[in-house]
Chain A
Amino acid sequence: MRAVYRVAKATYHEGWRRRFLNGILVFAILIIGSSWVFTYLQPGAELKMLIDVGLGSIRFFGMLIAVFLGVRLIPDEIEKRTIYTLLSKPVSRGQFLAGKFFGGLATVISNVALMGITFYVVFAIKAPQFAIPTEEGAPQYSMEFMYANVAKAILMSFLELAVVMGLAVVASVVFSWILAAIFTFFVYFVGQMSEFFGHLADPETGASPAARVILGTIYRIMPHFEIFDVREPILTDVPIVWGYMGRTFGMALIYIGIVLALGYLFFNRREV
């Protein structure tokens, strides 16, 4: 535990020092901070626009940071040979892998927390204005659960990024880091559409049995990233129940567990 914590701590501090990722963070905060400007593009659907741009940016830029940080964590240690002094101390490969994952995740989450706070402030200021109908017939938003829902949506994005981080770190010990980045993006985008593959695999679509097996397999093994997308309940102002959050948390945990275990199997025999 001590070793995991120490590796994670060093990784966290080091993670903050990556200029490229700092750049993405600054850019994301600029976009999120000015997300209310975008609302003028869609008169009548300002609140939807605000939430789409804000939460969408958090998920998207968070994902970019998670992938680019995740796929570099271990390759950097190997290329710079900092791993030699660590693994020759009482740090097992499993502890090293876990430490890298948690340290990287802590960096991503603190990055995304900054984006989240920015958005929350913008949202708290702007949303009430948009909720008030300006003229007859303009949408009348109910905002009873909205503040809590937005906060929950940000929490959900932490979970999503933990899964992305796990995928990226593990892919980077199996493939080269570039391939790992491509792989992680691919899984992320296909995972966003996993429900769609599920539908295609349905016998009623008339797909051939072979295609159905493939589509069904994709549906089953891909992480279902859409479960983290909660814009729908926010806009319809239905409370996001803790039960749903808990289930999502559980699924994320299981997925991360499987991915890290696979990563451990690879990394344990990997030469450095």
Chain B
Amino acid sequence: MFVSHTREVANIALAIRTEHLTKIYDVGWGRQNVGIDNLTLEVEEGQIFGLVGPNGSGKTTTLKLLLGLIFPTSGNAEVLGMSLDSAAYKSRIGYLPEGPYFYEHLNAPELLRMYGSLFGLRGPDFEKRIQELLELVDMWDRREYRVANYSRGMRQRVGVAQALINEPDLLFFDEPTAGLDPIGAKHIREVILELRERGKTVFLCSHLLKEMEPICDNIAILERGKLITRGSVDELLAGDVTQYRVEARDLDDEIIEQLGDGVAEIIRLDDSCRILFDSREDAFEAATRLEDAGAYLMTVGPDRRTLEEVFIDAVGEEPKDASSVQGS
């Protein structure tokens, strides 16, 4: 039993490994910007890994370092078991940059043909793949459009298609759903999940926590270049299981006050209210009472935190639009 367990651990292949990776940008006149600071991370193969953090926390910097677009100040990293100096890993990865841009005079199939040719891809099978990819990102109907006339979301869609052109084993997506409409964003999330299904590793950067939560296996939170929390999503969201929560809309203060003893904490969110209880019975009883009083019940159950809460906890800042009131 023990033996097989260790073997399993040893077998887990790493898609990405960084060791004390540090990037300090020189911005002239002796001033420096911290890009990332001493980042040590491991990303296992076959998982969806989310790198989250506020604006300017170093997500894009990390990606650019891993792709050899910029160079570390210190520390090192390996991608697919190869050092960053090795060009060989480039043929097995795909990259969607933040706000991608392409040669303006080309249309989508021409663009994909050009990128494909860099991998030596051509011929009828490849043409079929181009069509599949453009259908996947819903750009096949608009294949005649030139990049110069694209909307932001269209560039993003083609950006996803070009990242997949070589059937990569490892994908780097920087804000994959930025600029996409809700249907487009959902679609991309489905694509990402399907990639994992096929055994690919996906490294995602985003600050859209609501999107990351249901798709990521593991998450690391960065702030000002520093890794502040990491772990599997299940671990991070487990929260305080001794508490139970009731979330409801359309309730006024009076009803809340009548709830009485069992209430541990009341958190008012923009359009709803979350009430935490110490016991399961209190929670369900309160839920019934709230519903009778005409409130719209949203959730009742063990308190599982949202990624947003984990994030705010870790980053240490109250959300602008949620005020916390201590219950009596």
Contact = CB atoms under 8 A, between A and B. Distances in A.
Interface in A89-132: 89-92
A3 B102 CA distance: 17
Interface string A63-94: 00000000000000000111111111111100
A17 interface: yes
Nearest to A93: B68
Interface stretch (A6-14, A219-227, A236-244): A6-14
A10 B103 CA distance: 8
A89 B101 contact: no
B70 A2 contact: no
Nearest to A83: B69
Given A90-B87, A90-B90, A84 B114 contact: no
Chain B: number of interface residues, binned into ranges: 20 to 34
Chain B interface main SS type: loop
Contacts of B67: 84, 87-88
A269 interface: yes
B68 A85 contact: no
A89 B172 CA distance: 12
Contacts of A91: 90, 118
Contacts of A2: 117-118, 120
A6 B101 contact: no
Contact of A85 (B70, B91, B95): B95
B198 to A, nearest CB: 21
B100 A89 contact: no
Contacts of B184: none
A88 B90 contact: yes
A272 interface: yes
A271 B71 contact: yes
A78 to B, nearest CB: 10
Contact of A6 (B100, B104, B114): B114
Interface string B113-142: 011011110000000000000000000000
B117 A6 contact: yes
B68 A81 contact: no
Contacts of B118: 2-3, 6, 86, 89-91
B51 interface: no
Contacts of A14: 103-105
B119 A272 contact: no
Contacts of A84: 67, 69, 95, 97, 100
Given A6-B118, A87-B68, A88-B90, A81 B99 contact: yes
Given A84-B69, A92-B87, A10 B95 contact: no
Contacts of B69: 83-84, 87-88, 271-272
A85 B115 contact: yes
A126 to B, nearest CB: 38
B93 interface: yes
B218 interface: no
Contacts of A271: 69-71
Interface in A1-48: 2-3, 6, 9-10, 13-14, 17
B162 interface: yes
Interface in B44-80: 67-71
A269 B70 CA distance: 8
Given A10-B114, A81-B99, A85-B100, 16 more contacts: A6-B117, A10-B106, A14-B105, A17-B105, A83-B69, A84-B67, A84-B97, A85-B95, A85-B162, A87-B68, A88-B69, A88-B95, A89-B90, A89-B115, A271-B70, A271-B71
5 contacts: A85-B97, A85-B102, A269-B71, A271-B70, A271-B71
Interface of B: 67-71, 87, 90-91, 93-95, 97, 99-106, 114-115, 117-120, 159, 162, 166, 172
